[in-house]
Amino acid sequence: MDPKTGETLAKLLTAAWLLPLLGFAVEIFAGYLWSRRSKAAAYLAVGCIVGAFLCSASALYLYRQLPTIPVVHHEASHQHGKAGHDETKPVHGEGTVVAKEEEHHTDPAPRMHSFSGTHYVLAKFSNLKISIDWYIDSLTIVMFAMVTLIASCIHVFAMGYMSEELTEEYEDHQVHTSHGHFSRPGRFYKFFAFLSLFCFSMLGLVLAGNIFLVFVFWELVGVCSYFLIGFYIERKSASTAANKAFIMNRVGDFGFLIGLMIIWTSFGTFQFATRTEADGQKQLGLFDMVRGADGKLDLQDEPGKKAVLLTDDHDHPLLAADGTRRSIPYILLIGAGLGVFAGCVGKSAQFPLQTWLPDAMEGPTPVSALVHSATMVAAGVYLAGRFYPMFVPEVQLVIAYVGAITLFVAATIAIVATDIKRVLAYSTISQLGYMMLAIGLGGWAAGLFHLITHAFFKSLMFLCSGSVIYGCHHVQEMPQMGGLRKKMPITAYTMLIGVIAICGLAIPGVDVFFGGVAAKLGLPASFQNVMSEKWAFSGYHSKDAIVATAMTYAQLNPLHALLFILPLAGAGITAFYMFRLWFYTFAGKPRDQHVYDHAHESPWLMTAPLILLAAFAAFCACGGEKGFLFTMLLGSEPAHVADGLAAGATSKLALPSHHQIHDNHATAGFYALVVAAVGTFTAYLFYGARQFKLNPSEVQSRFPWLYTFLAEKWRFDDLYDVMFVKPVHIVARWCAATDRLVFDGILHGACRIGIVVSHWDRLFDENIVDGLVNWVSNVTYGAGSSFRYLQTGRLRQYVMFIVVGVVLVGGFGLFWLMLRIRPS
Amino acid sequence: MDTVGLENFLIVGGILFVCGVVCMAIKRNAIGVLMGVELVLNGANLNFVAFSRYTKLGLDGQVLALFVIVLAAAEAAIALAIALNFYNNHLTIDVDRADELQG
């Protein structure tokens, strides 16, 4: 293979990464450069992100041209590890290629190359280097293509959606001041500036080659979401939601930091992949240190001192300075894994930090689409996937349970939510739960597969809901909608595609039929593979993969059967609430005639992205597990996933292998399909059908406690209020009281003493010191005043004085002389 | 009465001096006061010259007398200018009216 490809890929992706930053740097000053009515900032932002997409797409194309890594012996494969600018010269750090081994016996999926390198070294602390690294494998490239494509659509959509901001005087109808509505200059350019910054941060996060850099962009993503959620900052709800999102994320990030510290102290490096530096020194990556080439942990299982022995990239043991083998205590590895996962929990809105995401719907709808469906929340899942080799089975179990609980809780809340965006928000949380579950269960590719497909159909649905909100003049409550499909057909039917995709509906039997046809026609094998897959949209394939993983897992570990039941039930609930949303909004009769009469289809600028995204939502997973997307992802799967984890290897858990999952695929797919169909049908009975109508409000009144429980979001907000907010308030009040009574008291006492002392000081100064000076001056003045009368101004008098003086002096002188003379 | 001695000169000089002082003290006319000053100076001159003649002082007394004459001339020039200016401003040369600098 051509070693230059790695560098070309890095250049392309770096360009895609930095373009939005360039856009941001210009747009943020757009308020000074252009008028508030100018769309220049939007054009620039769209240009940058589309440019980024083109770069990513060419990177994807280039990457596909690379041959997959053949089945090789371990030693041989590492010959690939040497590459540089010149083949005869020693290796340079940039563009170093690390090949991954293939597990040859079970997995037919070919492994793909990964590349890594350094752009710039920021700082060096003895062994630890903080640098801007890049790491590119198929996951990076797929994420880049997905993020830039969706972001491009959203940017274009936002040009239409945010056009109300193109004014000098934007009146915010939701903010009331003492003199009517609040009005401010439009912030069109600012919106696009933040969108650009957001894309930059997200792409940087995906491209980052070390966990520390991931953390940096992780925080940038958080800040951008803070800006965007709080875009209507004058609204109390928006500013609160922005704060909540940021603070909840901080809770998770705290865990992330702890994980980073453990990694730093235990490994001394943050790097993902092993690399040869510019000075010829080999810098071992985290993954190679923890896992052998076959992906196994090298355990030292002494009672009470369980530890993982570290190896280098050739599976040779690493030695410490004293000659013993370097190892990391197992408990620390669990801690690092859980810490990093805590960050993912915050960012991906998993239980128990899920409450910020629904509130974050206060941002403009394009933000919801970008930040809260496709990219930011995806960052958590992405990191869980990227960091997968560091997760030991115990951590994975935690991840799986967190995912399962999240998906179930969020799905149930979505049933009763009435705000169209909130339904989608809960659905997002629920689907993120599926992804985490899959990663926890060892279905690495399944989870990330769902991440990509979900990104497409969820951003599609968010944009559709944005289109509905725009068309209905900022009505978001579904009970006021209904029958809108006649008014806005494009929105309605693209939304339907999204809904079908997320529900994972498929037409049974078609696969057999078309597969048969393809076989008879003698089409190429790859084509046959595609044809013989289920006739379904993307969501079916990805969710099917997850359910199949869960089912296999439950079979292997019957104790954790809940991890299969919850996602299966979740699939049914998902179908129910998504179709409820669609029927509520687009089908039936108009519930609010006023809203209906004024509703209109959005302009083409907004519907065109919908159609594009709908196409991707429908067909991006085409071919299912044999299709393009899944095999791409599978190429970067960590080495140990394929053959699963035999029971008792590192713990009592057994992770399913590809082979086992494949055996369950048909059954699991059938179950999921049945459950989804039941959910859909129930939704139809409740909200869609004209006859046999079940009345939702009747059910609601039958189980009032359940309804309130769900409508109040399982009371998580109340719980956190009681558990954290109230105690913090109480402690704060105590602190304030201590401050006021004790510290202020001391200060005030000191002040009072100071005042008294200075009072006495003043008296002394005024009376003694000043008195003395004044007395001297008074005496002088008095003397002067008295003597002035001598100066009569009469010349003749002066003469008389002189004469008298002379006579007196002469007389006295004479007298004195006479006294002196007499004795002689 | 055989010879004129030093005492006679001193008596004449004393009379001249006292006359000058009295003239300065009683005259309200500025010119009169100036005349008194001349008398005082000449009284003193007479003493210098007399001491020069009758003691071992030699020429020193006469040189001093010459100095006093020159001094008196200078003094008269300045004093007359003052008197003239005073008259220009007050239309009088009464020294009692020149009391603006009194304390």
Minimum Cα–Cα distance from A795: chain B residue: B95
Tell me, yes or no, if B95 comes closer than 8 A to chain A by beta carbon: yes
> C-alpha A646: how far from its chain's center?
34
The pLDDT of residue A53 is 93
Do residues A354 and A377 make contact, with C-beta atoms less than 8 angstroms apart? no
Q: Per the CB < 8 Å rule, is A803 touching B101? A: no
Q: Which residue of A has its CA nearest to B25?
A: A796
pLDDT of residue A92: 37
Q: Which amino acid is at A179?
A: H
Tell me the CA distances in angstroms from A366 to A65, A152, A216, A373, A464, one per residue in order.
35, 11, 24, 10, 10
Entry pTM: 0.75
Which residues of chain B lie closer than 8 angstroms to A791, CB-CB?
Answer: 101-103
pLDDT at B69: 94
B2 touching chain A per CB within 8 A: no
Taking the Cβ of residue A786 and every Cβ of chain B, the question of whether any pair is shorter than 8 Å is answered with no
CB contacts of B103 in chain A (<8 Å) are: 787-793
Hey, of B37, B95, B100, which one would you mutate to test binding to chain A, going by the most A CBs within 10 A of its CB?
Answer: B95
Looking at CA atoms only, how far is residue A762 from chain B in angstroms? 39
Tell me if A494 sits within 8 A of A614, measured CB to CB: yes
Q: Is the peptide bond before A352 cis (omega within 30 degrees of 0)?
A: yes
B57: contact with A, CB 8 A cutoff: no
Test the B interface: residue of A795, A797, A798 with most B CBs within 10 Å: A795
Q: What is the pLDDT of residue A290?
A: 81
> Which of B34, B99, B100, B101 has the most A C-beta neighbours within 10 Å, making it the best mutation to test the interface with A?
B99
Residues from chain B that touch A803, judged by Cβ atoms under 8 A, are: 21, 25
Nearest chain A alpha carbon to B27: A796
Shortest Cα–Cα distance, A820 to chain B (Å): 24
Q: Which of B96, B101, B103 minimises the CB distance to A796? A: B96
> For chain A, which residues score pLDDT lower than 50?
1, 71-108, 647-648
Q: Could you tell me the residue ranges of all domains in chain A?
A: 432-711, 714-747, 793-824
Answer yes or no: do A793 and B99 touch at CB < 8 A: yes
CB distance from B28 to chain A under 8 Å? Answer: yes
Note whether A672 and A543 are within 8 A (CB): yes
Select from A788, A796, A799 the Cβ nearest to the Cβ of B103. Answer: A788
Measured CA to CA, the distance from residue A548 to residue A554 in angstroms comes to 10
Q: What pLDDT, on a 0 to 100 scale, did the predictor assign at position A95?
A: 39
In this structure, the dihedral spanned by the alpha carbons of residues A261, A270, A244 and A342, taken in order and rounded to 10 degrees, is -70
Q: For the residues of A341-357, what is the DSSP string, one character each?
A: HHHHHHHTT-TTSTTHH
Q: Per the CB < 8 Å rule, is B96 touching A794?
A: yes
Which CATH fold would you assign to the domain B8-97? Helix Hairpins (1.10.287)
Choosing among A786, A796, A803, A804, which should be mutated to test the B contact, i.e. which has the most B CBs within 10 A? A796
CB A229 within 8 A of CB A362: yes
Q: Which two tokens stand for residue A21?
A: 């930053």
> By the CB < 8 Å criterion, does A788 face chain B?
yes
Q: Which residues pair with A86 in a beta bridge?
A: none
Any A CB within 8 A of B3 CB: no
Distances (CA, A) of A140 to A8, A207, A706: 15, 6, 43
Q: What is the ipTM of this complex?
A: 0.83
Give the separation between CA A396 and CA A385, rounded to whole angstroms: 11
Q: Kindly determine whether residue A793 and residue B24, on different chains, have CB atoms separated by under 8 Å.
A: no
**Contact call for A791 and B101, based on CB within 8 A:** yes
Of A434, A416, A433, A414, the C-alpha closest to A424 is: A414
Q: For chain B, first and last CA: distance in Å?
A: 54
pLDDT for position A78: 38
**B26 vs A: CB within 8 A:** yes
* Nearest CB to A796 within list B95, B100, B103: B95
